[in-house]
Structure 1
Amino acid sequence: MEPRMSKKEEKSLYILGWMLFGAAAVLAGLTRGLHMQMKIFSLPCIFLELTGYYCPGCGGTRACAALFQGKIVKSFLCHPVVVYTAAVFAWYMISHTLEYLTRGRLAVGMRYRDLYLYLAAAIILIQWVVRNLLKLVWGIDIL
């Protein structure tokens, strides 16, 4: 059985989540307020440039940009782990907020499990293999 996090560790993770959410909101506000494009944050993929094939992270920046614009399907197609991560993060934050607001009477806070990380790794591996197979076998470029 997987060891559980202490309440203090869960609370620290929850606070870190709010800090990350705040940083993302500031970044989204800056890019919209200054009419900046996410392209300025995007560097060419060295793995793609050297090998001609996608790395496991290819499409991640575009997926984040699409998600910030509310284009969930486009984000999923660019890199599915971004949508998965956003969904897990949203449920974690919402459920813990409900638990903290009700002072534990509504104990619905999602608990951390390593399984969530293993699922993310599996999604990354699957999309990487599928993208490169599409390119290698059928010549279909995704990006």
Structure 2
Amino acid sequence: MFPCVNKSLLGVECTGCGGQRAAMLLFRGEFSQAFFMYPAIYSLAILFIFLLVNLFIKFKYDYNIKIGLIIFNAVIIAGAYIFKMFHIFY
């Protein structure tokens, strides 16, 4: 696993901390543990699958779907990060 530069230099987790471990848990079939490790793992997987399919198959509103999925992922990542930071401090 790659170490988190932000956590090693500043001592604070970044928004991506847990993503690698969640991906490994997902590949092992430990789906609920992957979600608890990094809640955005499933929405990111949907985004990446859509982007991969969209390379070969073009959809009518593919740009709008991409933007919607990106915004959805950003909200989940930011929400999980804020929850994690408040959970640590309280």
Q: Which has the larger radius of gyration?
A: 1
TM normalised by structure 1 equals 0.49
Pair 1:115–1:43, CA change in 2 (3 A): same
CA contact (8 A) 2:4 2:17 kept: yes
Taking every aligned residue pair, what percent have the same amino acid on both sides? 26
Q: Secondary structure at the match of 1:80?
A: coil
Q: Secondary structure at the match of 2:40?
A: helix
Distance in 2 of aligned mates of 1:65 and 1:86: 13
Pair 1:131–1:58, CA change in 2 (3 A): same
Moved over 2 A (4+): 85-90, 109-112
Q: How many matched pairs?
A: 83
Q: Which runs of 5+ in 1 are unaligned?
A: 1-41, 101-108, 139-143
Distance in 2 of aligned mates of 1:110 and 1:72: 32
Distance in 1 of aligned mates of 2:30 and 2:48: 17
TM normalised by structure 2 equals 0.74
Q: Which runs of 5+ in 2 are unaligned?
A: none
Q: Pick one of 81, 84, 87 that aligns with 1:131.
A: 84
Which structure shows the higher helix fraction?
2
